Amino acid sequence: MCGTLFFSTVMNPKQTLRTQMLAKRMAMSAAAQTIAATAVARHFADHPILAYAPSFAGYRAMRGEVSVNEIFTLMRKYNKATALPRMISPESALMFHVWQPGDELERHALGVEEPLASAAEIIPDIILTPLVAFDATGGRLGYGGGYYDRTMHALRAHENPPLFIGVAYSLQEVAEVPFEATDARLDGILTEHGVSMF
């Protein structure tokens, strides 16, 4: 039994870390999550790179992720182009479609809320990126589908690539995220304590 557990841990360090960090995040109280989301929005609005970018994409929080709804609300008065991602296929990069609070959403088969396919496509200047764990070098652990890794690799080939800014609670930071050749690092991290660029 011990040998089996050891083998599993060695062979699947990402899954082991993912399980631990998801449990840690889900243990947060609703009040703590709300306070953190408000702080994250404030730090976004106060940051010279993030706040003044002409456009940004967020995400619809699920499974205890930091909500970025307040960022959309704070930025609305500046008439920025704002967007959410759509999943095209399990092998494709994400596509970003214009969306702002109040616009219609539809639910993907995986349960994620997405903008309508008929909404205009854009490549945002800032892409707020959900995650399960992160480290001080920009390492990011997601849910294992590879959607954001593929998106980072694809969009960084553009002449003016967007900045991928991870959004997380500070408790999601770890000493080192297991990193593979197909993984991509974040450009920065936004938590309730502030913004750090890598």
pLDDT tens digits, one per residue of 122-153 = 999 999 999 999 999 999 999 999 999 999 99
Alpha-carbon gap, residue 171 to 189, rounded angstroms? 13
How is residue 123 annotated by DSSP? -
Alpha-carbon gap, residue 61 to 192, rounded angstroms? 16
Whole-number pLDDT of residue 129: 98
pLDDT at 167 exceeding the cut of 50: yes
**Of 94, 100, 49, residue with least CA distance to 74:** 100
Query: Half-sphere exposure of residue 145, counting CA atoms within 13 Å on the CB side?
Result: 16
Alpha-carbon gap, residue 44 to 8, rounded angstroms? 39
Domain 2-197 has CATH 3.40.50.10420: yes
